[in-house]
C-alpha cells in the first residue's frame, strides 16, 4: 500500500440512487491522491503522471541559430537590390564561431548552427549564387529578405524561467521532448497504483478451458485489463471467485491489505448469489450503489480500510461504460492526476428513440457517420443489450442522453463521447 487513506466520509450521501452528475461531483470533491512518488529516467516516463512542476532553467534554444542551410549576414548591409557578400567563415551545427562578422561579409551556415556575432539574417542556399573573384569567394543574396529571416532567436521556443509542465499531467511523447530540451534527464512522477482485478461467478471460465452449457468465458477480465492500460497502474489478476460468501470475504480481506484499489466485475446486485455487495458491507464501507444510469446501475464504490473498492457490473457493456465514466477518472485522481471528464461533441442524431425513461441518463454505443448532405452525424448501434460485445467493437464512442430527454428525433443534437477521448485507440 502507498500514500495516505481516503478523506473521511469520502462518498457520504443520503440518496438511494444518484444521478450521474451527482456521483461525479462527490467523487471529485472527496477523493485525493494516494500514490507516492519516485524519480525515473526520462525514457521510462511516458504516460506516467508528473509529480512536480517543470520550469525551463535556460533559454530554449540557448543561442540564436540558423533555421536553414544558407548564408548568414548583417541585414544593415543589405539594400533593396540585394547584396554581394564576401564569404568570411563556415559554421556547422555544434561548432560555434567567436569571430565577429564584418561589414559586407557572410558566413556559410548550416541548420542549427549558432549565428556568428554580428549576423542577424540568413538567406537560404537555394536562393543564393556563389561567385569567385580575385581568389576570394563571394555570395550573391537576392533582394526582399526581411530582418532576422530564417533565424531562430534564443528563447524563441521557451524563455528561461518559463513554466513548461505542471504536476498532475500525464506525460505524452511531446512532453518528454519538452523536458529533454531543458537538459533534465530524470523526472519525479507518481508511483503506479497497485490494482487487484477480480472476476466473480460460478459460470465463468478463462479462455483455453472447455465450457459446457451454462458456462461463459470471462471476457470482462481482458476488457478491463485493456481499459486499465489507460491509467498508470500495475494490475494483478486475482482470478475468478466462486459465488461463495466465505471465499469472497477471504479474497477481499487479503486484497485490501496488499493493494491500493480493488476492481471487481460481477456480483454487484442484490441477488442471493451476489456476495460482493454484502462482503463490502461487512469488511468496509459502501458509499455509492445504484446509480440512475443505463447501462451500469449497480455500479459500486466503497473502501476497505485505505483500499478503494470499485465494483463494476458483470455485463460487458455496463462494465466498460462504468469503467470509462467512473473508474478511470477515479484511478487517475488517486494516482496524482486530474479527475478527467470525457471530451464531448454535439452532433446531429442519425437515429430515433420514440420513448426514453425520464430521470435516467443513458449511454448508447455509437459511431460517427456521414448523412446524405455530407454532414457528420452520430449513429447508434442497432441493438442495445448490455451483454453484446459486438456493439463495443463496432462503436467508436458513446452517445449520452440526459435525464430530462424522453425522445430523440433524427437531426436532434446529441452528445457524442469518442473513445479516443478516454485514451482508447
Each residue's pLDDT tens digit, 42-88: 999 999 999 999 999 999 999 999 999 999 999 999 876 778 999 99
Query: Can you give the pLDDT at residue 272?
Result: 58
d(CA 168, CA 337) in angstroms, rounded, equals: 4
Q: Would you list the DSSP string of 168-179?
A: TPBPPHHHHHHH
- Band of pLDDT at residue 29, cut at 50, 70 and 90: confident
Cis ω on the peptide bond leading into residue 310 (within 30° of 0)? no
How confident is the model over 137-161, as a mean pLDDT?
A: 94
* Fold of domain 20-36+193-334: Molybdenum Cofactor Biosythetic Enzyme; Chain A (3.40.980)
d(CA 145, CA 121) in angstroms, rounded, equals: 8
How confident is the model over 112-120, as a mean pLDDT?
A: 97
d(CA 335, CA 24) in angstroms, rounded, equals: 17
Q: The CATH number of 345-422 is which of 2.40.40.20, 2.60.40.1930, 2.40.340.10, 2.160.10.10?
A: 2.40.340.10
Percent of the chain with pLDDT over 90: 82
Pairing mode of beta strands 136-141, 83-91: antiparallel
Do 339 and 332 meet the contact criterion of CB atoms below 8 Å apart? yes
Q: What is the sign of the dihedral through the CA atoms of 262, 265, 270 and 272?
A: negative
d(CA 235, CA 221) in angstroms, rounded, equals: 11
Pairing mode of beta strands 163-165, 216-217: unpaired
Helix (H, G, I), strand (E, B) or coil at 210: coil
Domain segments of the chain as ranges: 20-36+193-334, 65-152, 345-422
Backbone angles phi, psi at 346, to 5 degrees: -85, 125
Cis ω on the peptide bond leading into residue 230 (within 30° of 0)? no
pTM for this model (two decimals): 0.86
Each residue's pLDDT tens digit, 161-171: 999 999 999 99
Do 392 and 317 meet the contact criterion of CB atoms below 8 Å apart? yes
Q: Superfamily for 65-152? A: Molybdopterin biosynthesis moea protein, domain 3. (2.170.190.11)
Which cell numbers hold the place of 249? 470475504
Each residue's pLDDT tens digit, 311-320: 999 999 999 9
Amino acid at each position: 500500500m502507498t500514500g495516505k487513506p481516503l478523506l473521511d466520509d469520502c462518498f457520504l450521501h443520503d440518496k438511494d440512487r444518484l444521478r450521474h452528475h451527482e456521483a461525479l461531483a462527490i467523487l471529485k470533491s472527496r477523493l485525493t491522491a494516494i500514490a507516492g512518488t519516485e524519480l525515473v529516467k526520462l525514457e521510462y516516463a511516458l504516460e506516467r503522471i508528473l509529480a512536480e512542476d517543470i520550469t525551463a532553467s535556460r533559454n530554449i534554444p540557448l543561442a540564436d541559430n540558423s533555421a536553414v542551410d544558407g548564408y548568414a549576414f548583417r541585414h544593415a548591409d543589405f539594400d533593396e537590390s540585394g547584396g554581394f557578400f564576401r564569404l568570411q567563415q563556415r559554421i556547422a551545427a555544434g561548432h560555434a564561431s567567436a569571430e565577429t562578422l564584418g561589414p559586407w561579409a557572410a558566413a556559410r551556415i548550416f541548420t542549427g548552427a549558432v549565428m556568428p556575432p554580428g549576423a542577424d539574417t540568413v538567406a537560404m542556399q537555394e536562393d543564393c549564387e556563389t561567385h569567385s573573384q580575385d581568389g576570394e569567394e563571394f555570395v550573391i543574396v537576392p533582394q526582399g529578405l526581411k530582418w532576422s529571416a530564417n533565424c531562430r532567436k534564443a528563447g524563441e521556443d521557451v524563455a528561461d524561467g518559463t513554466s513548461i509542465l505542471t504536476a498532475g499531467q500525464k506525460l505524452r511523447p511531446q512532453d518528454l521532448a519538452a523536458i529533454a530540451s531543458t537538459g533534465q534527464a530524470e523526472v519525479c512522477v507518481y508511483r503506479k497504483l497497485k490494482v487487484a482485478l477480480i472476476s466473480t461467478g460460478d459460470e465463468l471460465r478463462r479462455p483455453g478451458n472447455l465450457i459446457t452449457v451454462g458456462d461463459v468465458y470471462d471476457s470482462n477480465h481482458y476488457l478491463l485489463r485493456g481499459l486499465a492500460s489507460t491509467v498508470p497502474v500495475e494490475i494483478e489478476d486475482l482470478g475468478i471467485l466462486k459465488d461463495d460468501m466465505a471465499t469472497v470475504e477471504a479474497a477481499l480481506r487479503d486484497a485490501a491489505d496488499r493493494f491500493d484499489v480493488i476492481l471487481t466485475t460481477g456480483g454487484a446486485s442484490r441477488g442471493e448469489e451476489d456476495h460482493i455487495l454484502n462482503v463490502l458491507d461487512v469488511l468496509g464501507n459502501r458509499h455509492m450503489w445504484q446509480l440512475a444510469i443505463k447501462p451500469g446501475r449497480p455500479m459500486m464504490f466503497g473502501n476497505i480500510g485505505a483500499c478503494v473498492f470499485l465494483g463494476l457490473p458483470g455485463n460487458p457493456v455496463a462494465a466498460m461504460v462504468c469503467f470509462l465514466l467512473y473508474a478511470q477518472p477515479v484511478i487517475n485522481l488517486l494516482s496524482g492526476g486530474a479527475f478527467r471528464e470525457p471530451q464531448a461533441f454535439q452532433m446531429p442524431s442519425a437515429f430515433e428513440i420514440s420513448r426514453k425513461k425520464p430521470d435516467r441518463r443513458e449511454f448508447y454505443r455509437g459511431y460517427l457517420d456521414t448523412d446524405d448532405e455530407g454532414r457528420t452525424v452520430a449513429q447508434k448501434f442497432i441493438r442495445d443489450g448490455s451483454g453484446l460485445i459486438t456493439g463495443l467493437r463496432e462503436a467508436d464512442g458513446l452517445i449520452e442522453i440526459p435525464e430530462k430527454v424522453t425522445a430523440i428525433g433524427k437531426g436532434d443534437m446529441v452528445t457524442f463521447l469518442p473513445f479516443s477521448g478516454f485514451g482508447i485507440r
